[in-house]
Amino acid sequence: MKRIYLDAGHGGSDSGAVGNELAEKNIVLKIQQYMINYLNETYTGFIINTTRTTDIFLSLSERANRANSWNADIFFSIHVNAGGGTGYEDYIYTSPGSTTINLQNVVHNQVISVLPKYTHANRGKKRANFAVLRQTTMPAILTEIAFIDTLKDANLLKNETFLREMSEAYVRGVAQFTGLPTKTQPTPQPTPIEDTRLYRLTTGTFQNAQQFAAALTRLRNDYPWITYEKADTTELNPTYRIITGTFTGKATAERFAAELRQRYGWTVYVNEA
């Protein structure tokens, strides 16, 4: 069971970057929730822990310490950039191990497949001495989705589809890195085609008129809601059959035919009308 720790940056008295009527602390919570939703919908074999799910403040050391004490397999810190630039970038620690480098590679590769759709620049894979990257003991990455103080990027941060698709790219990277299995999807079942054809039931033969009349009377007494008719009896030695009115769909006709066979012991045929 993989242990995934999500760290929504800033919070409480620390609003993070601000601009264009947006605050980083609110956007990263939204991204985190999109990530959680997509993980739960698509993958299995993991548990999630988070720094925060509400507007509270925690120090950088406390964030790292919580992930460490929980024995997380991966630390994913979610941020929004500022400083007048444009585009996406992600960070790992300045002297990373090979597993952390691999984490950055797989997350970055998933993200850059989304960027062209929004003509959002790829600022590349970077390294920095950020506290949450330095103090965590597991592979850790910090993402900067866009610049809140650049109008073009800010408009993307107001675009829920962009936030969701970037969040899902983050998750695909996490899933690839940790080897999460996807949930088994049920095999789609073909929609049954409705049978609207009409069918009649025909009995086997009755050898004389008296047998036929008795059978017909019994049937009409038991099923007054069905109409009946008699087969042609113009032969020299006539035989008689009961032919019912029509049923819609062969399955319906077959069910009633089976009932007549069981109830009366008759031979009953199903024929398209």
Sequence-separated (6 or more) residues with CB below 8 Å from residue 50: 5, 6, 7, 8, 32, 36
Is 144 noted as a catalytic residue in this protein?
yes
Note the pLDDT tens digit of each residue in 229-242.
666 656 566 778 88
Residue 196 confidence (pLDDT): 85
Global pTM exceeds 0.75: no
Residue 207 confidence (pLDDT): 75
Q: Give percent of the chain with pLDDT exceeding 70.
A: 96
Residue 238 confidence (pLDDT): 72
Q: Are 83 and 149 in contact (CB under 8 A)?
A: yes
Residue 51 confidence (pLDDT): 97
Q: Are 94 and 159 in contact (CB under 8 A)?
A: no
Note the pLDDT tens digit of each residue in 49-77.
999 999 999 999 999 999 999 999 999 99
Opening angle at CA 261, ends 260 and 267, nearest 5? 115
Distance CA(66)–CA(43), nearest Å, equals: 24
Opening angle at CA 45, ends 42 and 46, nearest 5? 90
The token pair that represents 7 in the structure block = 């760290």
- For residue 188, which amino acid is it? P
Domain topology for 198-272: Alpha-Beta Plaits (3.30.70)
Opening angle at CA 55, ends 140 and 59, nearest 5? 45
Residue 113 confidence (pLDDT): 96
At residue 192, does pLDDT exceed 90? no
At residue 12, does pLDDT exceed 90? yes
Distance CA(141)–CA(36), nearest Å, equals: 17
H/E stretch holding 61 reads helix 60-69
Facing residues of 78 across strands? 8, 143
Report residue 194's pLDDT band, with 50, 70 and 90 as the boundaries.
Answer: confident
User: Class of the 2-178 domain?
Assistant: alpha beta
Residue 115 confidence (pLDDT): 97
Q: Are 141 and 104 in contact (CB under 8 A)?
A: yes
Task: Scan for tokens 């033969």, then name that residue.
Answer: 205
Report the chain's mean pLDDT, rounded to a whole number.
Answer: 92
At residue 122, does pLDDT exceed 70? yes
Facing residues of 272 across strands? 199
Write down the catalytic residue from 21, 41, 62, 144.
144
Note the pLDDT tens digit of each residue in 196-251.
888 888 888 887 778 888 888 888 888 877 767 666 656 566 778 888 888 888 88
Structure-model confidence comparison of residues 154 and 206, the more confident one: 154
Residue 96 confidence (pLDDT): 97
The alpha carbons of the chain give a radius of gyration, in whole angstroms, of 36
Pick from 219, 244, 222: which is nearest to 231 by CA? 244
Q: What is the mean pLDDT of residues 117-144?
A: 98
Residue 220 confidence (pLDDT): 80
- Domain regions of the chain by residue span: 2-178, 198-272
N-term to C-term CA, the chain: 61
Q: What share of the chain is helix, strand, coil (3-state, %, to 5)?
A: 40, 25, 35
